[in-house]
Structure 1
Amino acid sequence: MTERVDVVTPPAEGAPDPGSHAGSPPPSGGFSVRRWFRDDASEPVRRNLGLIAVLIALYGIGAWSRPDIFLDLNRLWSNELTVLTLASSIGVVAIGMTFVIISGGIDLSVGALLALASVWATTLSTQSYGAVMMVFVALVVGTVAGLTNGFLIAYGRMAPFIATLATMVAARGLAQKISGKTTQVVDVKAITDIAQRKFLGLPWLVVMFLVVAALAWVLLNRTTFGRRSAAIGGNGEAARLAGISVRRTQVIIYGLSGLCCGLAALMVTAQANSGSSDHGNLYELQAIAAVIIGGTALAGGRGTIVGSVLGVLVFSQITNLFIVNNLSIEYQLIAQGAIIIAAVLIQQFRVGSLRRRPA
């Protein structure tokens, strides 16, 4: 379903493609299930298939607990469109977070940056210039704030946890200052229509999420920037010695994360018909959880966009199950925490098995 991002430097011009079979003998013995399960190259595929199996199991639980919804095709389709729409904004944030974690970093400020971009784009002065200015302001605010994180980490030599934690507090405070802790109603119809319109039967918000995911997949798997991001997360010193500008790449990665926050701010604003300093609350935890569930290594160097998208869908479906069964949010948070712990433990056991495996 996706390609593994190898932590290597780009091959020299004219060198054979390391992903091809040129110059190497064809594999002998044909296909072997046992070999496939032990092959590191197929690990992302196995993980994504596992996430799809989890989604199928969640649908089975839904069919058992609420057959009136999950066994009625019309109600099921309507319910799933609602789930996808609600998941679209956190999905865009999670895609930006995927690049950050693959590079060996972390970003705790994404929720606050979303709130700041939302508030700044919905002030009366910004709205007076129309929808284009609102879109421009949201994207610029998110990107500039993300670049600030990148400069603090790359050139200020601050730990990503500390730098983004400080930005989180400052951005949330600035959002409260700008809005006066009040909700800013959006009067620009072109913005509110984003959450109402559909394209080929899918809400525009879902289409935006899918387009961002597709572009991110190409960026990670088909560009030098994607390979450099993984190389930095795998071994930053080796990446530097290989000629990669580690600092510049880190700045761009955090700027990309901020850009995703700005876009997500527009999506949340369109859904809520307002801008608020409370938007994006706990988005950082949900995004990190979805990325981890998707298989991105916390230590960096490995991860996939498809896995992150599936991770978002898993969490969204779990939330949906709790809502349709009228269960309290406390149980939902407990379940999410347990899933995160399980995902991290699986990663740890996976790393341990690789280290014990003979060369």
Structure 2
Amino acid sequence: MTQPVSPPRDSTHKLPPVDRLPAFRGLLGHADVRTLSLLGVLAALVLIGGITRPDEFLDTRNLQLVLTQASVIGVVTVGMTFVITSGGIDLSVGAIVALSSVWATTVATQEFGFAGILFTAVLVGVGCGLVNGLLIAYGGMVPFIATLAMLASARGLALQITDGKTQIVGVTSLLDLGERDAYVLGVPPLVMVFAVVTVCGWLILNRTTFGRRTVAVGGNAEAARLAGIDVRRQRLYLYLLSGLCCGIAAFLLIVLSGSGQNTNGNLYELDAIAAAIIGGTLLTGGRGTITGSVLGVLIFTTITNIFALNNLQSDVQQIAKGAIIVAAVLVQRRTASTT
């Protein structure tokens, strides 16, 4: 007697949705906790600023200034988040911003007007990112060494171009972007550019194959290679992306300051790395969050603003930033040990 054959099961029908998988729910839970924690810290800082300097800190112009200042380093941090998520590091972002800003503000470049300055800033940034990517992905150099060499070279070239002088921008259409008349519903154009870069970065990291490959390379490069991912090409693209963000940031800095200087972008690499880390991006790679990085930038920028308004010493400000970074790393280690 033959046994009745049951119809084949649809294995996909029995699989739970992705958002119901325990690991995914745990990841979301930790992400929510991190985001809420960062929002809580930011809210506490706003409260402190409102209590200590209510008239100055809560003034609309001061809040616009905070967001504008956060925009430049924020764009750099978006690119840095991708690089760190992949398990790399980029110590040259500040120097690339400086080189891009001075190259884009030379007399020869300014003759081409607004478009010439924008194009040059972005092109120099991408070019530096290309050199970093080639050295790391195809030259086999350690990211720390390659980007450190770029830091020194870009700073030196920026100093050579400017001869230690400040290059003043005379393109009226560019300078007008920094005026209050250019604000849209009270939002500075630089902040809108930062918002666009942030949204694009979030979508690329969380909703595209490129983003998934970035996380895979950072989590386990060898496993990613065996899965068919071209790890070297992916790393090249990531440093190109970081260079692009530096070029955009250099252009924003030119608009903000109306000049190009070889000292631009000083310590941007440390601020960008710190913002990404406290935002929840693992320094060892494999996990990154654009939202957390942006909140990290806003926290640091708000701290700087509060200290400036209260006439506090910059050394105390640096100590406070260092304490926040240490606390963030300890939280990361605790979170990682419980997952």
CA distance in 2, matches of 1:23, 1:261: 47
Which of 22, 33, 37 is the equivalent residue of 1:46?
33
CA deviations 1:165-184 (Å, max 9, x no partner) are 00000000001111111111
CA deviations 1:131-170 (Å, max 9, x no partner) are 1111111100000101110111111111111110000000
Q: Which moved more, 1:345-354 or 1:185-194?
A: 345-354
Alignment check: 8 A CA contact 1:147 1:251 kept: yes
CA distance in 2, matches of 1:314, 1:93: 15
| 2:193 alignment partner in structure 1 | 208
Q: CA deviation at 1:353?
A: 2.6
Trace 1:53-72 onto structure 2 (pairs within 5 A).
53-70=40-57
Task: Give the residue type in structure 1 aligned to 2:32.
Answer: V
1:338 aligns with 2:323: yes
CA distance in 1, matches of 2:17, 2:211: 28
Q: Secondary structure, in 3 states, of the residue corresponding to 1:199?
A: coil
| 1:145 alignment partner in structure 2 | 128
1:182 aligns with 2:190: no
Q: CA deviation at 1:67?
A: 2.9
Alignment check: 8 A CA contact 2:204 2:210 kept: yes
Identity, in percent, stands at 55
Q: Which moved more, 1:334-343 or 1:160-169?
A: 334-343
Alignment check: 8 A CA contact 2:128 2:243 kept: yes
| 2:8 alignment partner in structure 1 | none
- How many residues end up aligned between the 2 structures? 325
Q: CA deviation at 1:25?
A: 4.8
Q: What is the TM-score when the length of structure 2 is the normalising length?
A: 0.92
Q: Can you give the 5+ residue segments of structure 2 that lack an aligned partner in the other structure? A: 1-10
Task: Give the residue type in structure 2 aligned to 1:295.
Answer: G
In structure 2, relative to structure 1, the CA distance for the partners of 1:52 and 1:177 (3 Å cut) is same
In structure 2, relative to structure 1, the CA distance for the partners of 1:188 and 1:351 (3 Å cut) is same
| 1:103 alignment partner in structure 2 | 86
Trace 1:1-359 onto structure 2 (pairs within 5 A).
23-25=14-16, 39-70=26-57, 75-196=58-179, 197-354=182-339
Q: CA deviation at 1:349?
A: 2.0
CA distance in 1, matches of 2:302, 2:54: 15
Q: Secondary structure, in 3 states, of the residue corresponding to 1:181?
A: coil
CA distance in 2, matches of 1:40, 1:258: 30
Q: CA deviation at 1:39?
A: 2.3
Q: CA deviation at 1:199?
A: 1.7
Q: What is the TM-score when the length of structure 1 is the normalising length?
A: 0.87
CA deviations 1:245-295 (Å, max 9, x no partner) are 100010010000000000000111111111010000000000001000110
Q: CA deviation at 1:189?
A: 1.1
Q: Can you give the 5+ residue segments of structure 1 that lack an aligned partner in the other structure? A: 1-14, 17-21, 355-359
Alignment check: 8 A CA contact 1:195 1:267 kept: no
| 2:5 alignment partner in structure 1 | none
Pick the structure with greater CA Rg: 2
CA deviations 1:73-105 (Å, max 9, x no partner) are xx4332211100111000000000000000000
Task: Provide the aligned C-alpha RMSD in A.
Answer: 2.0
Q: Secondary structure, in 3 states, of the residue corresponding to 2:14?
A: coil
